[in-house]
């Protein structure tokens, strides 16, 4: 049974229309958005305590922070504020000028036109100076205009080697600014000290003509590169010192042409390689004058000793008598009866096989004496030049062969091939220039110089007679007047020279070409060497052609150089 007390409260309740209209009349007109008619209730004490504690913590935090800023770190922030107000700006020193031996500027400073507070570096427009001069890096600023690199610094060549001399010392000044960055005052703290000038031993015109001759021959003969140097035989001063190809110092210094810079680095011809100092090449027949001096000094030959050249020599093969070892001359029919002058002038391999390793009754030097005399003339030895990264090289020897080949047994054939400057022979062009200077000056080895100053020298330790030196000089003159270096015979200057060719590559598909010598013949003043690198087998290009073009360029454009030779 349903409980009567649980009946629904609004059961059967109905709203009449007149009640609806009556309720609308009683709607409040108070503005509730302005809290009119709203009953206000007081904030509880607990809420006030929490809110007060919150603001107290904030106040204590700021007091603590203020204590640290003002008391603990006050001095540090004071210094920072001073630095923000006082800006230290470098006063850039002027870099020293680089001159050639005739006081012609080859590296100097130019006005930046107000673009920067430092001068830009300018270089001679004459080609051939890249490896000698090098290039620089300029100062750099961050996004705020502050200099994070404050020096103009040399990155290669003389610019790098003598950077401490050329750079000078920057000064500085303080600029005071207000809160808006406006300059209030400007005062100098220290003045800059300009760098010192440098005078090189280089003749800028000879440098240019030598480079252009090598460049031309590289293009015409298909060579990968080349190098040349000319040295005073009485002082060691290098009047020309150039390597092809070279890099552009402007492009590297500015650093903006990224594509061009990448071309330099990716160029298979290696334009950053200074071939004069760091290039290693088989010397080929250019070592023959030194073997001739060794044989004369050891008493193995005289100026009248002869060897019959028939185009080859044969050595019995004790393992297979029917197949003797054959060592050929470059001329298949041979050269006939040859003495030392003829052997050098026509580069007779047979003669040097005989005096190197011995043959047909002629005693040879043997590999030990060959190695010693080659070293004594500074070949495959450090020259002492205070510049760049100098390579050393290799003279083939029994010890070298043991370290290099699985079958390290030294054979007579190895001595023969070494006697004509091949096998594992590796030398640098600067070594050959220096060695030829020692033939020209009767046995004085100078340290090559690029900066004018005192030269250091030593005597070739073999006590070779003046007559023997003179005999070899005559042979080198014969090489030009009636031998295989006739291409550089000139009416403008009397040359004495020796050429050389060495096959290179896995299948001997390339060759290196040399010409070394001195001039003038009667009173030697300068020694030289040119090497042309990796020409295609069967090509007609040569270092002799490059030297011929150099002589012609000097005769036409710089004849006073020949005229001033004593």
Exposure string for 232-252, b = 16+ CB within 10 A, e = fewer? bbbbbbbbbbbbbbbbbbebb
Q: Three-class SS of residue 527?
A: strand
Q: How far apart are CA 348 and CA 483, in angstroms?
A: 11
Looking at domain 87-199, what is its CATH homologous superfamily?
Penicillin-binding protein 2a (Domain 2) (3.90.1310.10)
Are 542 and 486 a contacting pair, CB within 8 Å?
Answer: no
Q: How far apart are CA 468 and CA 442, in angstroms?
A: 9
Could you tell me which residues come within 8 angstroms of residue 159 by beta carbon, excluding any fewer than 6 positions away?
98, 107, 121, 133, 134, 135, 136, 166
Q: Bridge partners of 426? A: 394
Q: Average model confidence (pLDDT) for the chain?
A: 89
More confident residue, 355 or 265: 355
- The first and second tokens of residue 223, run together, are 């060579």
C-beta neighbour count of 169 within 10 angstroms: 13
Asked if the domains 87-199 and 204-563 are classified in one and the same CATH topology, the answer is no
Report CA 293 to chain centroid distance, whole Å. 35
Q: Which of 45-54, 317-326, 343-352, 451-460 has maximum average pLDDT?
A: 343-352
For 399-457, give the DSSP string: HHHHHH-SS----HHHHHHHHTT-TT-BB-HHHHHHHHHHHHTTSEEEPPBSBSS---E
- CATH class of the domain comprising 204-563: alpha beta
pLDDT in tens, 446-495: 999 999 887 899 999 988 999 999 999 999 999 999 999 999 999 999 99
What are the residue boundaries of the structural domains of the chain, listed by start?
A: 87-199, 204-563
pLDDT in tens, 519-559: 999 999 999 999 999 999 988 899 999 999 999 999 999 99
Q: Is the pLDDT of residue 88 over 60?
A: yes
C-beta neighbour count of 175 within 10 angstroms: 14
Count Cα atoms within 13 angstroms, Cβ side, for 139. 23
C-beta neighbour count of 564 within 10 angstroms: 8
User: Residue 77 has what pLDDT?
Assistant: 54
Name the least confident of 193-197, 405-409, 496-500. Answer: 405-409
For residue 398, give Cα distances in angstroms to 95, 406, 408: 52, 13, 7
């Amino acid at each position: 049974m349903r409980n009567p007390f649980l009946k629904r409260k609004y059961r059967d309740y109905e709203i009449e229309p007149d009640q609806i209209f009556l309720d609308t009349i009683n709607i409040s007109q108070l503005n509730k958005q302005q809290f009119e008619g709203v009953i206000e209730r007081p904030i509880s004490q607990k809420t006030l305590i929490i809110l007060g504690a919150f603001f107290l913590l904030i106040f204590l935090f700021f007091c603590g922070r203020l204590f640290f800023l003002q008391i603990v770190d006050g001095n540090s922030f004071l210094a920072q504020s001073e630095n923000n107000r006082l800006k230290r700006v470098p006063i850039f020193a002027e870099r020293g000028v680089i001159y050639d031996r005739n006081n012609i500027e080859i590296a100097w400073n130019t006005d930046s036109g107000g673009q920067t507070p430092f001068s830009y570096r300018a270089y001679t427009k004459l080609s051939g100076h890249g490896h000698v001069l090098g290039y620089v890096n300029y100062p750099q600023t961050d996004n705020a205009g502050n200099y994070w690199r404050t020096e103009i610094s040399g990155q290669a060549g003389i610019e790098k080697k003598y950077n401490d001399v050329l750079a000078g010392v920057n000064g500085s000044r303080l600029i005071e600014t207000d809160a808006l960055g406006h300059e209030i005052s400007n005062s100098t703290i220290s003045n800059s000290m300009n760098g010192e000038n440098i005078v090189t031993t280089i003749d800028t015109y000879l440098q240019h003509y030598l480079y252009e001759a090598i460049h031309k021959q590289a293009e015409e003969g298909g060579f990968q590169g080349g190098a040349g140097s000319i040295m005073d035989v009485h002082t060691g001063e290098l009047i020309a010192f150039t390597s092809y190809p070279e890099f552009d110092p402007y492009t590297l210094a500015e650093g903006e042409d990224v594509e061009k810079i990448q071309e330099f680095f990716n160029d298979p011809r290696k334009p950053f390689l200074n071939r004069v100092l760091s290039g290693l090449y088989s010397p080929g027949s250019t070592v023959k004058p030194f073997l001739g001096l060794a044989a004369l000094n050891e008493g193995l030959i005289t100026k009248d000793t002869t060897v019959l050249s028939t185009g080859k020599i044969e050595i019995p093969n004790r393992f297979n008598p029917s197949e003797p070892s054959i060592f050929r001359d470059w001329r298949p029919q041979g050269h006939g009866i040859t003495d030392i002058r003829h052997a050098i002038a026509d580069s007779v391999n047979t003669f040097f096989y005989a005096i190197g390793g011995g043959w047909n009754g002629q005693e040879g030097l043997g590999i030990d004496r060959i190695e010693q005399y080659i070293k004594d003339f500074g070949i495959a030895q450090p020259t002492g030049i205070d510049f760049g990264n100098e390579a050393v090289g290799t003279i083939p020897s029994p010890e070298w062969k043991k370290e290099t080949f699985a079958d390290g047994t030294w054979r007579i054939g190895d001595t023969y091939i070494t006697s004509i400057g091949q096998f594992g022979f590796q030398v640098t062009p600067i070594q050959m220039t220096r060695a030829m200077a020692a033939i020209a000056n009767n046995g004085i080895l100078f340290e090559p110089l690029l900066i004018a100053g005192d030269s250091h020298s030593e005597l070739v330790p073999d006590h070779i007679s003046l007559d023997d030196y003179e005999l070899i000089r005559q042979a080198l003159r014969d090489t030009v007047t009636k031998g295989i270096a006739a291409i550089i015979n000139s009416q403008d200057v009397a040359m004495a020279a020796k050429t050389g060719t060495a096959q290179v590559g896995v299948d001997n598909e390339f060759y290196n070409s040399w010409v070394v010598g001195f001039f003038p013949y009667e009173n030697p003043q300068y020694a030289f060497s040119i090497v042309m690198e990796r020409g295609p087998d069967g090509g007609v290009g040569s270092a002799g052609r490059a030297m011929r073009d150099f002589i012609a360029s000097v005769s036409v454009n710089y004849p006073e150089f020949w005229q001033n030779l004593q």
